[in-house]
Amino acid sequence: MAHQAHAMLYSVDPSPSPLTGAVAALLMTSGLAISMHFHTTTLMSLGLVLLLLTMYQSSRDIIREGTFQGHHTPPVQKGLRYGMILFITSEVFFFLGFFSAFYHSSLAPTPELGGCSPPTGITTLNPFEVPLLNTAVLLASGVTVTSAHHSIMEGQRKQAIQSLTLTILLGFYFTALQAMEYYEAPFTIADGVYGSTFFVATGFHGLHVIIGSTFFAICLLRQAQYHFTSDHHFGFEAAASYSHSCLMSYDSSFTSLFTDEAS
């Protein structure tokens, strides 16, 4: 008797997450504008809560489909890999925009800036102090991520959990150091084009580090609950690829934004 043939790919069941995510984005962006004009953060907070709920529910659904129901066959995994690579590529181009903005203004500085770069009146940060430490922290987290990955592949649970925890701690350490740098910086985002490009680029980068740490935290919870197998742990690989791309963008911003002369 003929029976239903399951394809190697699967169609996802209907989900409210695209709608709630879109509504969350609307509420957050319009709420941000409202907060600037009317001094109330209600709308933005509502959007943020909805965003967090969407993140929680959609990732829970994906984990249920992949880990508990077994829908993530090898072709499906391949598709997920392609998706992550494309997304990371889009993030790279996102950062390239900010770097081009910086170079556009610094390679040919206008008379309004004093005809020099960094502009007149800006005391830049010494790149060999906290920025170098931040670079070291991110590089160390790259080492611990690789250690965690190899531990997972070789089936070593304890080492994997320890390396993953250390990675997350290093991410938090970077965020704390960057927050301290922001507080102590001698210039602000309002200080001409230098301040604008510096804080927008490093600010978005810091946000991406926070996102990476959150992703790893989810991976740590999943690893502790035995979700990952030694061959199939794409969630972890996606988090690792994302963090590595974050690290690369910090390395490039270190050489461009932080040095005293525009190269």
Residues that bind another protein (CB under 8 A): 2-3, 5-8, 10, 68-75, 128-130, 132-133, 135-136, 139-140, 143-144, 147, 152, 154-160, 162-163, 166, 169-170, 173, 177, 180, 183-184, 226, 228-232
Compute the least distance from the CB of residue 148 to another protein, in Å.
10
In contact, 123 and 239? CB cutoff 8 Å: no
Compute the least distance from the CB of residue 73 to another protein, in Å.
5
User: Both tokens of residue 201?
Assistant: 């680029």
d(CA 243, CA 165): 15
Output 40 or 69, the one with its CB closest to another protein.
69
Compute the least distance from the CB of residue 8 to another protein, in Å.
4
Compute the least distance from the CB of residue 198 to another protein, in Å.
19
Output 45 or 73, the one with its CB closest to another protein.
73
- Name the residue with tokens 């790279």: 92
d(CA 30, CA 7): 42
Q: What is the DSSP letter of 195?
A: H
Compute the least distance from the CB of residue 50 to another protein, in Å.
31
d(CA 238, CA 35): 35
Query: How many C-beta neighbours within 10 Å does residue 136 have?
Result: 12
Output 147 or 243, the one with its CB closest to another protein.
147
Candidates 10, 8, 11, 13; CA nearest to 75 is 8
Compute the least distance from the CB of residue 212 to another protein, in Å.
18
User: Both tokens of residue 178?
Assistant: 């960057």
In contact, 213 and 220? CB cutoff 8 Å: no
Output 93 or 226, the one with its CB closest to another protein.
226
Output 51 or 161, the one with its CB closest to another protein.
161
Output 2 or 36, the one with its CB closest to another protein.
2
Torsion, Cα 126 195 209 214, to 10 degrees, reads 130
Compute the least distance from the CB of residue 167 to another protein, in Å.
12
Amino acid at 177: L
Q: Any idea how long the chain is?
A: 263
Give whole-number Cα distances, 78 to 34, 73, 154, in Å. 42, 9, 22
Output 175 or 196, the one with its CB closest to another protein.
175
Work out the angle at residue 114's Cα, subtended by the Cα atoms of residues 113 and 120, and round it to the nearest 5 degrees: 80
